[in-house]
Each structure stands twice: as C-alpha cells, then as structure tokens.
Structure 1
Amino acid sequence: MSKKIIQTDKAPAPIGPYSQAVLAGNLLFVSGQVALTPGTGELVTQDIASETHQVMHNIKAILNEAGLDFQHVVKTSIFLSDMGLFGAVNEIYGSYFSGAYPARETMAVKTLPKNVNVEITVTAMVGA
C-alpha cells in the first residue's frame, strides 16, 4: 500500500513530530486540528464558536489539499476540554456536513494541546 504525506500552508504547520495528514491507499487520516491560524500560528480563542470554526477551516484546507471535502469524511473524533461545550461545538460541526454525517465519538479530556477547548481529527475516503 502506498503512503503519501499531505501538507498545505493553508492549515497550521504541525506543532510536533507528525504530518497534517497521511493518505494511505484510499483513506486520508487527518491529524487532530486545533484553532491555530495558518501562517501566524496564533490561537483563535475569542469564544467556542470562533474556535470551532477555525478548527473546521483547518480541516477543510487539508481535505482540499488532498482533493477531498467534508462529503468524503467517514469518521471523526472530537475532543473537548469540557462536555458543557458539546452543544455549541456540535451545532457548528454539523453545519459543515450536508446530511450524510460521518461516524463519530466525542469525549471530554483533561487537557488539550496549547490548552485549547476543542480538537477534531477526521478520516476521509477517496471516492466516497
């Protein structure tokens, strides 16, 4: 099986030893995205809505670099700093999909990178 690294400057550069995404066969594995602004690396932290939108924009940029979009996403994982944020994040997250929602789990964790409130990872399928 072939493996290709996906990298775009339209999403934030990795903050550790990992790739933005890896295409393995017909599956794209997108690393967890937080609300870092591409180019500047500054965090978007005004409110949970702005933070979630930035995360989804980062995911969209990586998907687009691979020639995909949210319709190709088959699985997501959402990590929250507090389950009390679930409703707001869920509403914004859902607005990026057009009806055919991927499989998903959402969990609250003790701490996320850079002390953000939300991190989302996705798996997409070429040809989905």
Structure 2
Amino acid sequence: ACIAEAQAALQPIPGDCGDEYRTPPFLTASGDLSHHLSGFPAPFNTRPGSDGRTLALSGTVWEPMAGYSRAVRKGTRIHVSGTTATHGSRAIGGADPAAQTHFCIDKIAGALQSLGGSLEHVVRTRVFVSDISQWEPIARAHGERFGHILPANTMVQASLIGDEYLVEIEADAELD
C-alpha cells in the first residue's frame, strides 16, 4: 500500500527513454539543471563553404576521404547526409534496429541544430535498411520521432557499408 501510494504521487518524465538527456528539461541525478545552462554548443563544427553554403562537419576520417559533409545548409534548406548509428569507431545500438534508428535521428537532430534547424523543419527522410524484415521496429522508431512532423518518407532495402549497420537515414529540412 505504501509503494502504491508513493507511485501515485510520481509524475512521468515526458518523452522516451533518454529524452531527459536530449531535450529540456535536462534531468540528472541532481534534478533539472536547465536553469544553470545558457545553452549548449552546437554538436558539429560548421564552416563556410562555396556558393553561400554552410557546412556541418563531424570530423570523421570519411568526410575528407569521400568528399562530403555531415550536412549542408544553403539558404533555407538543410540536407543531411546518410547517417548511421556510428560514434567514433563504434556502432551504437548493437543488433537493435530501433535503437540504431533513434541514434541516427539524434545525430540528424545534431546536424540540423548545428546549422540553425531542428527535427521540426524536416520535410523528407529516406530510410535505408539492410534487412527489410526489420522494417517495423525501424518504422515505429521513425514514427515516434517524426509522427508529429509527418515528413515525406521512403524506406528501401539496401546494402549498407558495414555489416553492423541495420539502418541509414538521410534528411532534408526547410527552414521558415
């Protein structure tokens, strides 16, 4: 009875597991630290490119080798390159396609933030999956993050670079 009474007094944390670290209020073991923060630095470094472009660069060895940027902004449009669940030399999310999808979307959100946008500005996503039988957990994770935005979307099966990758996502955004 005491446990039930204590549980009834609890208030749920909004969002999904991990959102407490990704979006305000920023919850920690010490509580909400939002009032201590004036802001966070952009996740990716940016620099001017040619023709009025702004480039967001993640610093991976692949960008200069293959000649691309994590994302490019020109005017009111942002294009985010194919994004996998990679952090450094590690694939995040293991064999869980939903976890990999959430990590990809987190990286996309970081690229957009670095260029002045957000997930709410996304108008198109392209989802590439290595095994089409895993489409449903990937689609559900996409729906959790984009269900209120409803961008145009395509999902296709593709051979991805690296057996550890279950999903890769591209995004296009249009700022107001």
- Give the TM-score band, short-chain normalised: 0.7 to 0.9
Percent of matched pairs sharing the same residue: 26
The count of corresponding residues between Structure 1 and Structure 2 is 121
Aligned to 1:31: 81
Determine if the alignment matches structure 1 residue 3 to structure 2 residue 68: no
1:57 equivalent in alignment to 2:106: yes
Is the 8 Å Cα contact of residues 129 and 155 (structure 2) preserved in structure 1?
yes
Question: How far apart, CA to CA, are the structure 2 residues paired with 1:14 and 1:69?
Answer: 26
Which TM-score applies when normalising by structure 1? 0.85
Residue aligning to 1:85: 134
SS for the counterpart of 1:114 is: coil
Structure 1 residue 98: Cα displacement:
5.0
Q: Which has the higher contact order (CA 8 A, sep 6+)?
A: 1
Which residue does the alignment assign to 1:113?
161
Q: TM-score, normalised by structure 2?
A: 0.63
Q: How big is the shift at 1:46?
A: 3.7
Question: Structure 1 residues 7, 35: CA separation in 2 closer, same or farther (over 3 Å shift)?
Answer: same
Does the 8 Å CA contact 1:5/1:21 hold for their aligned counterparts? yes
Query: Which residue of structure 1 aligns with residue 89 of structure 2?
Result: 41
Unaligned runs of 5+ residues in structure 1 are none
Measured at CA, do residues 14 and 50 of structure 1 come closer, stay the same or move farther in structure 2, by a change above 3 Å?
Answer: farther
Question: AA paired with 1:106?
Answer: M
Of residues 68, 93, 96 in structure 1, which corresponds to 2:145? 96
Higher CA-based Rg: 2
Structure 1 runs (4+) greater than 6 angstroms displaced: none
Do the aligned residues in 2 keep the contact of 1:8 with 1:61 (CA within 8 Å)? no
RMSD: 1.7
